Structure 1
């Protein structure tokens, strides 16, 4: 049974962008993410996300995933972030300055 999400992705280029993002989001990696609403969150990746099938509010089936990010300032307060809402990922480790940005 598919899960529900506010937004699903069906465009192949956007699915490839989500796949590339997952490569950067290693378990326990310290990252900063910028969301499409302008919010910026920093923390540690709790579990490497995967792509899954979701259904949006209109009943359309598509792809998305969920990033569980343990907040840098309040680790006991995890964020569950839909991958499709992330516009930028920046690794915070000194040897991993990876930046991935969505091109709109």
Structure 2
């Protein structure tokens, strides 16, 4: 399987990797993965993409971290992703993905 990073032309880096539950990113209708496939099939219908990633709060060791690898793995799991984009008609669209 080709990684979404490669399909979307994004370099594969640690900053592009966040934990998503199978229920959020699995290969099923309504999933984040399905949205990625839609974007690849119709890039003109998905312009100005913005993804907001929400967490419950700062990491438990926030005062001592300077890189992602220093963050407690439990604190690295986002609780919600909200994807916003502009479609081919200029209409702003939004889709939330709850990751709990």
**TM-score, normalising length from structure 1?**
0.34
Higher helix share: 2
Q: Which has the larger radius of gyration?
A: 2
